C-alpha cells in the first residue's frame, strides 16, 4: 500500500478548509472512505488502479493494462511496481516489471506477467483476472535502470520473463541507444514473450537479437558468452532472469575484467518452510533460534523483546504483529502463513511458531 | 444464577475430564472445517455490508439536511439509526475481533479499525477481547457481569446501591456508548487506587477527544449544514444515537444475563484446559432466535454462544455452525440457551429487578450485613460509580 503525500502548504486555503470540514463529517472514518464508494481510483490516501485490458503474449504470459489512480508517479524504464490483488478473499502482493512506454497518450501503464507453476498471483493475473478489476498499487521502484547518459554499447542478457524490464527500457530508450545486443533465452520459440516486436526492432536495425531456445540448445554457459558476443568487454550489461542464470553471470563477471553488470532478481515469494528456524525481531534486530512448537510471543519475550500481547490463547488479537518475511505455523491448525517483504501480513504471535527463518516487525 | 461450582446440582457433573477434552476436540473440528473454507464469498459479504452501511449513512444524512420536513426527519432518522447499529455491531465489533484479519486488507483489519462509538477501539479491544472473552462469566474477573453497576448473579454481593439498579440499567441503556467508554476506562478500578494515574489520565484524554469529535459531527457540524433544519437534524442525530444505544444494550443484555446462563468462580479457571474453556463458553452465553434480518442487526451476536466459542470466526458463518454446535450440546447433555428477543430481554430485565434485592429478603429488613449464602474470599466483586 502506498501513501500519497500531499503537502498541506500547496493546497488552496479554501480547499484545505473544506478538507477539514469533510474530516469532521466523516469521523471516525476519513473522507476517502466515502469517496471510495464512488471512485476508488480517486483516493488521495491509497494508490489503486483498474485493469483495462489483459492481452495474451504467450500461452502462459499476458500483459496487464492498468489505468493508474490519482497520485501515480511516472516510472523510470526498467523499474517494477508492486501490485496487490484479492484472491479467494485474501490480499496478495507481488512485484512485476513495468513494460509500458512513458509517453502513452492515454496514461495507461502495463506490466507483463508470466504464470509460474503454483504461482498464486501470476496465475490469477494471467488466467482469472478480468478487465474492470480494481487492484492495489505501490509507486514504481527499483534501480535496474539505464543511466541518464546511456553507454555507447549495451548488452542485455535475459531469460524467460526477465525480458520484461528490458522491454520497458527498449520501448522508451531504443532511440537513444546506438548499439544494443539482446541475448534472450526461452525454452521454445513459442515461449518468447514480445517475439514479434523484438524481431521488428531487429529488422529495423535498432538492435541485434540473439534468441537461444534452451530446450534444444541448452542453457546459456558463461564460457559461451565471448563467442556469442565477441565485443563483450566493450559492453555494459543489464541482466534479468532465473536465479541460476544471474548467479552464473555474476561469477563470470567477478573473475573477468569487464564493464559493469547490473542484475535484477525476482526471488520466489515463498521462503523455505520447516520446523522452527531463526526469528528476527525488527525493533531490536535481535535474532534467536526458535523451535517449531514454541509460540513466537514466548520466543520474543524470552529474548527480552517487548512484545504486544493479550489473551495468549488466540482469541483476542492483541498480539498481532506484522510478519515481514518468512513462514510461521498456526499451532492450532498447522496452517502455514508466508510473507515476503512488503506483503503486510499480520500474524498472531501467541499461537504461531516459526516454520523456517522469519522476521517480525516487532 | 449461582456460580456453577456452588450449585446443589452441577450441570456438568456427568462429564468426565476425558469427555470435556473430547468435546473440545469436536468444537475445534467444527472451527477448522469452517475456517478452511473462508474465501471470496465471505470477503464479498463484509465488503457489501460496509458498502451498504456507508451508503445508507450518506443517504440518511443527506435526507436529514431537510429534516424540517417530517417525512424526511422520519426516514433520515430511521436510516441513520440502522446505519449506526450496523456500524457498531456487524461491522465494528466483528472487525475488531479480528474476524476479517485473514483478508489482509488494512482497511478492514482489527489493528486499524476505529468505530462510531465513544470508546476508542484500542481500549475497547482490551476490555472486551482480552478480559471479557477470556474470562467470560467468571465472577470477580468478567466485569461484563453487571458492568460494575449492577448485580446480575446471586453470588455477587448485595449492597443498598443495587436497590436502584433497574434505574441504573435504564440510564445505562440510554447512554450506552458513554457507559462502555466509562467501563473501558475502568473508573471503578481507578477510584480504588488500583490503576495507574498517568495511564488513566491519558486514556480519559483520548476518550474525551473522541467524544468531542463525534459530538461535533452529530450535534454541531451536521445540524449547521442543515441550515433552517438545524434543530430538527440535531434531534434526529440524538434520536439515532439513542436508538442505537437502546438496541445494542438490549442485544448485549441477552448475551449473558437471561436465566439459565451459568457463571463461574475465579478459582475454577485456574489451569483451565482448552476443553474446560470451551465448556465455560458454552454455558456462559445465550442466543437469540429470529430472522436473518435480526441476526444482521445484532451483528450476529444473536449467535452469542457460537461467537464465544469462536470469536474470530467471520460473523456471516455463525448461522452455519450453530446446528453443529447444538449437536455437541445435545451429545454431551448440556443446556443450549436460546429464545426470542422479547423472551430473553424480559428474562434479563427480570433478573435486574429481582437481584436489586438481596437473595434473602430478611437481609433487606435488618439492613445489616449484606446477603451471602456462604463466604467466598477469592471472589471480590467490583462496584464502580
Residue B206 touches partner A, C-beta closer than 8 Å: no
Distance from CA of B89 to the nearest CA of A (A): 15
Q: Would you state the CATH architecture of domain A154-265?
A: 3-Layer(aba) Sandwich (3.40)
Grid cell 516487532 in the structure block, residue:
A362
Q: What is the structure's pLDDT at B370?
A: 47
Which of B162, B169, B145, B137 lies closest to B245 in space, CA to CA?
A: B169
Grid cell 467490583 in the structure block, residue:
B382
- The region that residue B121 occupies, defined by phi over 0 for left and psi between -120 and 50 for alpha, beta otherwise, is alpha
Q: What is the structure's pLDDT at B367?
A: 52
Q: Structural domain tally of chain B?
A: 1
Distance from CA of A361 to the nearest CA of B (A): 14
According to the 3-state scheme, what is the secondary structure of A184-234?
EEECCHHHCCCHHHHHHHHHCCCCEEEEEEHHHHCCCCHHHHHHHCCCHHH
Grid cell 502548504 in the structure block, residue:
A9
Residue A313 touches partner B, C-beta closer than 8 Å: yes
Q: What is the structure's pLDDT at B177?
A: 96
DSSP A67-99: EE-TTPPPPPTT-EEEEEEEETTEEEEEEEEB-
Write down the pTM of the prediction. 0.89
Instruction: Tell me whether residue B371 is in a domain.
Output: no
B101 three-state secondary structure: helix
What separation in angstroms does the CA of B372 have from each of A126, B91, B360, B362? 71, 42, 9, 12
- The residue in chain B having the minimum alpha-carbon distance to the alpha carbon of residue A37 is B51
Residue A301 has pLDDT above 90, yes or no: no
Q: Which residues are CB-contacts of B276 (< 8 A; sequence separation ≥ 6)?
A: B20, B24
Considering CB atoms only, which of A28, A90, A320 is closest to B111?
Answer: A320
- B292-319 pLDDT, tens digit per residue, is 999 999 999 999 999 999 999 999 999 9
Inter-residue contact A112 to A171 (CB < 8 Å): no
Q: How far apart are CA A109 and CA A75, in angstroms?
A: 10
Distance from CA of A301 to the nearest CA of B (A): 19
Q: Which residues of B touch A46 (CB under 8 A)?
A: 107
Which of A301, A355, A351 lies closest to A325 in space, CA to CA?
A: A355
Considering CB atoms only, which of B101, B103, B277 is closest to A317?
Answer: B101
Q: Report which secondary-structure segment, H or E, holds A112.
A: strand A109-114
Rounded to 10°, the helix B341-354/B230-256 angle is 80
Rg of chain A (C-alpha set)? 24
User: How buried is A152 (Cβ within 10 angstroms: 0-12 exposed, 13-18 middle, 19+ buried)?
Assistant: exposed
Between residues 244 and 273 of chain B, which touch chain A (CB distance below 8 Å)?
Answer: none
- Report CB contact under 8 Å: A89, B40: yes
Between residues 5 and 34 of chain B, which touch chain A (CB distance below 8 Å)?
Answer: 28, 32
Q: What is the structure's pLDDT at B219?
A: 98
Best A31, A91, A138, A315 member to test B by mutation, with max B CBs in 10 Å, is A315
Q: What is the structure's pLDDT at A274?
A: 80
What separation in angstroms does the CA of B292 have from each of A19, A93, B235, B252, B296? 39, 36, 30, 18, 6
What separation in angstroms does the CA of A192 have from each of A65, A211, A283? 19, 9, 45
- Report CB contact under 8 Å: B134, A89: no
Best A316, A348, A352 member to test B by mutation, with max B CBs in 10 Å, is A316
DSSP letter for B219, please: I
Rounded to 10°, the helix A31-38/B40-64 angle is 110
Q: Which residues of B touch A320 (CB under 8 A)?
A: 98, 101, 110-111
Residue B125 touches partner A, C-beta closer than 8 Å: yes
- Percentage of chain B modeled with pLDDT above 70: 94
How many Cβ atoms sit within 10 Å of the Cβ of residue B18?
A: 9
Residue A53 has pLDDT above 60, yes or no: yes
Residue B54 touches partner A, C-beta closer than 8 Å: yes
Residue B11 has pLDDT above 50, yes or no: yes
Q: How far apart are CA A295 and CA A348, in angstroms?
A: 9
Q: How far apart are CA B227 and CA A66, in angstroms?
A: 44
Residue B129 touches partner A, C-beta closer than 8 Å: yes
| Joined grid coordinates for residue A95 | 512485484
Q: What is the structure's pLDDT at B368?
A: 46
Phi, psi of A33, deg, nearest 5:
-60, -30
Strands (E), chain B: 287-289, 338-340
Inter-residue contact A176 to A41 (CB < 8 Å): no
- Count of pairs with CB atoms under 8 A, one residue in A, one in B: 105
DSSP letter for A5, please: P
Q: What is the structure's pLDDT at A307?
A: 86
Residue B375 has pLDDT above 60, yes or no: no
Residue A269 has pLDDT above 50, yes or no: no
- B141-161 pLDDT, tens digit per residue, is 998 999 889 999 999 999 999
A277-360: CATH topology: Ubiquitin-like (UB roll) (3.10.20)
Residue B114 touches partner A, C-beta closer than 8 Å: yes
DSSP letter for A315, please: S
The domain segmentation of chain A, as residue ranges, is: 48-137, 154-265, 277-360
Between residues 269 and 308 of chain B, which touch chain A (CB distance below 8 Å)?
Answer: 277
Residue B380 has pLDDT above 60, yes or no: no
Select the more confidently predicted residue: A311 or B334: B334
Q: What is the structure's pLDDT at A273?
A: 73
Inter-residue contact A24 to B217 (CB < 8 Å): yes
Write out the CATH class of domain A48-137. Answer: mainly beta
Band (A318; pLDDT cuts 50, 70, 90): confident
Q: Please, which residues bridge with residue A157 across strands?
A: A183, A239
Q: Which residues of A touch B134 (CB under 8 A)?
A: 311, 313, 315-316
Residue A317 touches partner B, C-beta closer than 8 Å: yes
Residue A231 touches partner B, C-beta closer than 8 Å: no
- Report CB contact under 8 Å: A316, B134: yes
Residue A163 has pLDDT above 50, yes or no: yes
Residue B6 has pLDDT above 60, yes or no: yes
Average pLDDT over residues A124-148: 95
- Report CB contact under 8 Å: B43, A89: yes
Q: How far apart are CA A15 and CA A7, in angstroms?
A: 13
Residue B97 touches partner A, C-beta closer than 8 Å: yes
Residue B72 has pLDDT above 70, yes or no: yes
- B85-143 pLDDT, tens digit per residue, is 999 999 999 999 999 999 989 899 998 999 999 999 999 999 999 999 999 999 999 98
Q: Which residues of A touch B42 (CB under 8 A)?
A: 89
Inter-residue contact A325 to A359 (CB < 8 Å): yes
What separation in angstroms does the CA of A319 have from each of A227, A346, A348, A358, B273? 59, 10, 6, 17, 21
Residue B385 has pLDDT above 90, yes or no: no
- A221-260 pLDDT, tens digit per residue, is 988 899 999 999 999 999 999 988 999 999 999 999 999 9
- The residue in chain B having the minimum alpha-carbon distance to the alpha carbon of residue A330 is B32
Range of the domain at B324: 4-361
- Report CB contact under 8 Å: B111, A27: no
Band (A12; pLDDT cuts 50, 70, 90): confident
Amino acid at each position: 500500500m502506498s501513501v500519497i503525500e500531499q503537502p498541506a502548504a500547496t493546497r488552496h486555503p479554501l480547499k484545505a478548509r473544506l478538507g477539514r470540514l469533510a474530516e469532521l463529517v466523516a469521523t471516525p472514518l476519513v473522507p476517502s472512505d466515502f469517496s471510495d464508494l464512488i471512485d476508488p481510483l480517486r483516493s488521495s490516501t491509497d494508490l489503486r488502479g483498474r485493469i483495462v485490458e489483459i492481452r495474451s503474449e504467450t500461452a502462459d504470459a499476458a500483459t496487464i493494462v492498468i489505468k493508474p489512480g490519482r497520485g501515480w508517479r511516472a516510472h523510470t524504464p526498467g523499474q517494477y511496481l508492486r501490485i496487490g490483488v484479492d484472491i479467494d478473499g485474501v490480499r496478495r502482493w507481488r512485484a512485476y516489471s513495468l513494460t509500458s512506454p512513458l509517453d502513452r497518450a492515454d496514461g495507461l501503464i502495463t506490466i507483463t506477467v508470466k504464470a509460474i507453476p503454483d504461482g498464486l498471483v501470476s496465475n490469477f493475473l494471467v488466467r482469472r483476472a478480468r478487465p474492470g478489476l480494481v487492484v492495489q498499487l505501490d509507486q514504481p521502484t527499483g534501480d535496474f535502470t539505464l543511466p541518464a547518459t546511456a553507454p555507447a554499447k549495451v548488452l542485455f542478457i535475459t531469460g524467460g520473463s526477465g525480458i520484461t524490464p528490458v522491454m520497458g527500457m527498449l520501448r522508451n530508450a531504443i532511440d537513444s541507444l546506438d548499439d544494443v545486443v539482446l541475448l534472450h533465452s526461452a525454452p521454445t520459440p513459442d515461449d518468447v514473450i514480445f517475439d514479434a516486436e523484438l524481431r521488428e526492432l531487429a529488422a529495423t536495425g535498432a538492435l541485434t537479437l540473439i534468441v537461444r531456445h534452451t530446450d534444444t540448445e541448452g542453457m546459456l554457459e558463461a564460457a559461451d558468452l565471448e563467442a556469442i558476443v565477441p565485443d563483450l568487454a566493450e559492453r555494459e550489461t543489464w541482466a534479468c532472469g532465473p536465479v541460476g542464470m544471474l548467479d552464473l553471470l555474476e561469477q563470470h563477471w567477478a573473475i573477468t575484467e569487464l564493464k559493469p553488470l547490473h542484475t535484477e532478481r525476482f526471488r520466489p515469494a515463498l521462503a523455505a518452510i520447516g520446523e522452527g528456524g531463526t526469528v528476527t525481531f525488527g525493533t531490536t534486530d535481535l535474532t534467536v533460534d526458535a523451535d517449531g512448537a514454541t509460540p513466537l510471543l514466548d520466543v520474543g519475550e524470552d529474548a527480552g523483546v517487548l512484545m504486544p500481547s493479550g489473551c495468549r490463547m488466540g482469541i483476542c488479537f492483541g498480539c498481532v504483529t506484522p510478519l515481514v518475511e518468512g513462514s510461521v505455523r498456526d499451532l492450532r491448525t498447522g496452517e502455514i502463513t508466508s510473507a515476503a517483504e512488503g506483503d503486510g501480513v499480520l500474524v498472531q504471535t501467541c499461537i504461531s511458531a516459526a516454520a523456517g527463518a522469519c522476521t517480525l516487525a516487532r | 444464577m449461582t456460580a456453577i461450582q456452588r450449585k446443589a446440582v452441577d450441570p456438568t457433573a456427568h462429564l468426565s475430564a476425558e469427555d470435556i477434552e473430547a468435546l473440545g476436540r469436536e468444537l475445534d473440528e467444527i472451527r477448522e472445517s469452517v475456517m478452511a473454507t473462508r474465501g471470496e464469498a465471505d470477503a464479498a459479504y463484509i465488503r457489501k455490508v460496509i458498502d451498504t452501511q456507508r451508503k445508507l449513512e450518506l443517504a440518511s444524512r443527506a435526507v436529514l439536511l431537510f429534516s424540517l420536513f417530517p417525512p424526511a426527519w422520519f426516514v433520515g432518522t430511521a436510516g441513520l439509526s440502522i446505519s449506526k447499529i450496523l456500524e457498531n455491531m456487524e461491522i465494528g465489533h466483528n472487525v475488531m475481533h479480528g474476524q476479517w484479519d485473514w483478508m489482509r486488507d488494512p482497511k478492514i483489519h482489527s489493528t486499524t479499525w476505529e468505530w462510531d462509538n465513544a470508546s476508542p477501539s484500542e481500549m475497547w479491544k482490551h476490555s472486551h477481547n482480552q478480559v471479557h472473552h477470556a474470562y467470560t462469566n467468571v465472577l470477580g474477573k468478567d466485569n461484563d457481569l453487571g458492568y460494575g453497576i449492577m448485580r446480575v448473579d446471586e453470588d455477587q454481593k448485595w449492597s443498598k446501591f443495587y436497590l436502584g439498579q433497574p434505574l441504573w440499567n435504564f440510564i445505562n441503556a440510554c447512554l450506552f456508548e458513554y457507559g462502555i467508554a466509562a467501563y473501558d476506562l475502568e473508573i471503578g478500578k481507578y477510584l480504588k487506587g488500583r490503576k495507574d494515574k498517568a495511564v488513566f489520565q491519558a486514556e480519559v484524554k483520548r476518550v474525551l477527544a473522541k467524544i468531542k469529535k463525534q459530538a461535533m459531527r452529530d450535534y454541531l457540524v451536521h445540524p449547521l449544514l442543515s441550515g433552517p433544519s438545524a434543530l430538527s437534524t440535531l434531534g434526529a442525530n440524538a434520536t439515532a444515537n439513542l436508538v442505537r444505544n437502546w438496541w445494542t444494550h438490549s442485544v448485549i443484555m441477552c448475551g449473558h444475563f437471561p436465566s439459565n446462563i451459568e457463571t463461574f468462580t475465579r478459582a475454577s479457571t485456574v489451569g483451565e484446559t482448552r476443553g474446560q474453556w470451551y465448556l465455560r463458553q458454552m454455558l456462559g452465553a445465550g442466543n437469540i432466535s429470529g430472522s436473518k434480518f435480526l441476526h444482521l442487526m445484532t451483528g450476529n451476536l444473536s449467535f452469542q454462544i457460537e461467537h464465544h466459542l469462536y470469536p474470530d470466526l467471520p460473523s456471516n458463518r455463525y448461522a452455519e455452525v450453530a446446528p453443529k454446535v447444538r449437536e455437541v450440546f445435545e451429545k454431551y447433555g448440556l443446556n443450549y440457551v436460546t429464545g426470542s428477543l422479547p423472551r430473553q430481554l424480559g428474562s434479563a430485565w427480570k433478573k435486574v429487578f429481582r437481584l436489586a434485592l438481596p437473595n434473602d429478603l430478611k437481609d433487606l429488613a435488618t439492613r445489616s450485613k449484606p446477603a451471602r449464602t456462604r463466604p467466598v474470599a477469592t471472589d471480590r466483586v467490583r462496584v464502580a460509580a
